[in-house]
């Protein structure tokens, strides 16, 4: 991870000599700054999503008529009706709509990666994420009481939108911000958004049926269908581990998520500990509860929430000032100046 | 379940275009005495041709076994190139400062290994037998190694995205334009030719040589290559 000191839209020149022939200053290889690096990781995830959309199953009627329409189940009619209409439309024009979805998501990825269009890409990604959260994820099960952070609720797409907001390329605070996510919106708002997100995950962990002794076991066991043998093995063993212990596991998870949520308000070392804990929980849930985004089932439309939560945690990590200074110094030494 | 043939056709056409472009790039670089990554261009020709053949079987010029040998050699070459960099990072420092020299070698090593994986994991396709993609979802033993193609996909897409980020800063400068003009004037008159003693790799690039040949097109070809390869690997997950 690079420092965000030194930079502006930003890159630091490393490992290059400005006097090199044939390569002018703006042609030298440069390392993106911290925020730009996170933007590029976000763009990479969008590109994965866009290409995942090109899997054969999404060009069939079942994508719209079963997968999309199925999201309306249990939702209020005002939410469910547009989902059903969209599912029907997508199902009857599967090739056109799915190709369009792939183009939009790939376009978002390219727009974020292409510096002149980064704001357009991030803005479109927010609008797209809100639409997909409603139509494609049925609001993540928030309104029908089935949201469970173990399997990605309340929806990965909302984290895409949150990341787009936090990584917006403007500097409300400047480079003195304590962490990358604070640069665009300021530290108080960034911390508030973190609290709301992780606090809601904690709340959903002990919501409704998630408190039953068997629900966690059933959720994990059901996810082994269609997975490779080793993923199914992990599921089987994880499911047997939590068998009849669903309530206690979810209560512990809810407490840990609360610690993560409030951790950003603690001093630096403790805040980093909470952020690291959040990243670790996201990784465990991604492997066990989300089966690595179900990428091996040929039916995944995205990578699910695990990688996005880890990316978010990286945006809240507080870097040492001496590290920033060190990078700046090495950039000056090696690059003969900064862009 | 197979992917739509029109989609495979589009990706195959893109691969043919990249292969043809890379071949033309090699020729032009030689003719105009312009530096280029010749090993990368050769890799793009081979990978483009092979992937076009995997996407549309009718375009497959040689048997899968031969491709496996080709990409084993290519992977070995890029391992050697990485080793060269690790041993002496300053080797051949000169013109290609618009790229990160180690990551360029590493990503092409990853690409060669990904090609090898695809040929080893896929059901061999008959040469010239028309039809759609000769690859499909991993089954049996292959299914236990799906983390490997997933890692390839992540590396390839990250490389494509970082390349898009970089491509905008590769606009030709006045100095570069001057050098291009020199090259187009009396061809070969004043331009020193990169030495040929190391297969046109970094060692052949010296100060005083003309500007890098079409760096944005080179990056564009790389992006298309990465995305297409990632698409094919995703179909194999």
> Does B200 score more than 60 pLDDT?
no
Domain boundaries of chain A, sorted by first residue: 32-322
Burial code of A14-53, b = ≥16 C-beta within 10 A, e = fewer? bbbeeebbbbbbebbbbbbbbbbbbbbbbbbbbbbbbbbb
User: Among the listed ranges A40-44, A258-262, A286-290, A318-322, which one has the minimum average pLDDT value?
Assistant: A318-322
> Does A311 score more than 60 pLDDT?
yes
- Beta-carbon separation of A51 and B161 below 8 A: no
Domain boundaries of chain B, sorted by first residue: 5-235
CB proximity A42 to B under 8 Å: no
Q: Which is it for the CA torsion A150, A156, A162, A164, positive or negative?
A: positive
**pLDDT tens, position by position, B53-99:** 999 989 888 888 899 999 999 999 999 989 988 888 776 665 566 66
- Nearest CA-CA distance, residue B31 and chain A, Å: 18
**Partner residue opposite B164 with nearest CB, options A110, A228, A230:** A110
User: What interface predicted TM-score (ipTM) does this complex get?
Assistant: 0.86
- Nearest CA-CA distance, residue A32 and chain B, Å: 9
Q: Which residues on chain A are in Cβ contact (under 8 Å) with B234?
A: 51-52, 54-55
Q: Which residues on chain A are in Cβ contact (under 8 Å) with B98?
A: 23, 27-29
- Beta-carbon separation of B165 and A32 below 8 A: yes
pTM for this prediction? 0.85
- Nearest CA-CA distance, residue B164 and chain A, Å: 6
**pLDDT tens, position by position, A85-117:** 999 999 999 999 999 999 999 999 999 999 999
CB proximity B90 to A under 8 Å: no
**Rounded mean pLDDT, A304-308:** 95
Q: Which of residues 104-133 of B touch A (CB under 8 A)?
A: none
Q: Which residues on chain A are in Cβ contact (under 8 Å) with B138?
A: 228, 296
**pLDDT tens, position by position, A135-182:** 998 898 888 878 889 988 888 899 999 999 999 998 887 667 899 999
């Amino acid at each position: 991870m690079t420092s965000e000191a030194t930079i502006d839209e930003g890159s630091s020149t490393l490992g290059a000599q400005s006097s090199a022939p044939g390569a002018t200053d703006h042609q030298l290889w440069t390392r993106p700054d911290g925020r730009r690096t996170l933007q590029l990781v976000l763009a990479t995830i969008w590109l994965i999503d866009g290409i995942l959309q090109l899997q054969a199953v999404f060009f069939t009627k079942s994508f719209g008529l079963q997968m999309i329409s199925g999201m309306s189940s249990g939702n209020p009619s005002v939410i469910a009706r547009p989902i059903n209409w969209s599912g029907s439309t997508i199902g009857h024009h599967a090739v056109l709509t799915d190709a369009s979805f792939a183009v939009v998501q790939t376009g978002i990825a390219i727009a974020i990666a292409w510096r002149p269009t980064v704001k357009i890409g991030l803005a479109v990604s927010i609008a797209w994420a809100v639409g997909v959260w409603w139509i494609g994820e049925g609001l993540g099960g928030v309104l029908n009481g089935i949201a469970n952070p173990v399997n990605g609720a309340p929806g990965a797409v909302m984290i895409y939108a949150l990341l787009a907001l936090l990584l917006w390329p403007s500097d409300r605070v400047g480079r003195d911000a304590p962490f990358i996510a604070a640069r665009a919106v300021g530290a108080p708002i960034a911390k508030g958004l973190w609290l709301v997100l992780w606090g809601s995950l904690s709340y959903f962990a002990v919501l409704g049926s998630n408190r039953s002794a068997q629900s966690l076991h059933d959720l994990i066991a059901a996810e082994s269908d269609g997975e490779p043998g080793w993923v199914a093995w992990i599921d089987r063993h994880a499911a047997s581990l939590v068998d009849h212990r669903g309530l206690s596991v979810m209560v512990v998870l809810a407490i840990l998520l609360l610690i993560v949520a409030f951790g950003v308000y603690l001093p630096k070392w403790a805040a980093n500990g909470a952020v690291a804990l959040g990243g670790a929980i996201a990784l465990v849930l991604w492997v066990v509860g989300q089966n690595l985004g179900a990428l091996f089932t040929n039916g995944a439309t995205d990578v699910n929430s695990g990688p996005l939560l880890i990316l978010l945690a990286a945006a809240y990590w507080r870097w040492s000032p001496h590290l920033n200074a060190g990078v700046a110094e090495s950039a000056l030494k090696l690059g003969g100046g900064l862009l | 379940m197979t992917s739509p043939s029109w989609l495979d056709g589009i990706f195959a056409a893109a691969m043919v275009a990249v292969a043809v472009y890379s071949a033309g790039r090699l020729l032009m670089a030689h003719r105009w005495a312009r530096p280029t990554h010749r090993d990368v261009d050769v890799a793009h020709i081979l990978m483009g041709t092979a992937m076009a053949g995997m996407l549309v079987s009718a375009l497959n010029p040689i048997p899968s076994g031969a491709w496996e040998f080709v990409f084993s050699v290519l992977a070995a070459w890029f391992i050697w190139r990485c080793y060269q960099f690790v041993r002496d990072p300053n080797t051949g420092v000169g013109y290609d400062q618009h790229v990160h020299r180690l990551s360029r070698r590493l990503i092409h090593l990853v690409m060669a290994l990904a090609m090898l994986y695809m040929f080893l994991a896929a059901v061999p396709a008959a040469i010239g037998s028309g039809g759609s993609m000769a690859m499909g979802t991993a089954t049996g033993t292959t299914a236990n190694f799906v983390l490997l193609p997933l890692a390839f996909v992540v590396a390839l897409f990250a490389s494509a995205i970082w390349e898009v980020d970089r491509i905008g800063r590769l606009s030709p400068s006045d100095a570069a334009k001057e050098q291009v003009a020199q090259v187009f004037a009396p061809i070969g008159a004043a331009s020193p030719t990169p030495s040929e003693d190391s297969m046109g790799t970094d060692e052949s690039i010296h100060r005083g040589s003309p500007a890098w040949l079409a760096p944005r097109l080179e990056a564009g070809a790389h992006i298309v290559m990465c995305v297409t390869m990632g698409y094919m690997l995703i179909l194999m997950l």
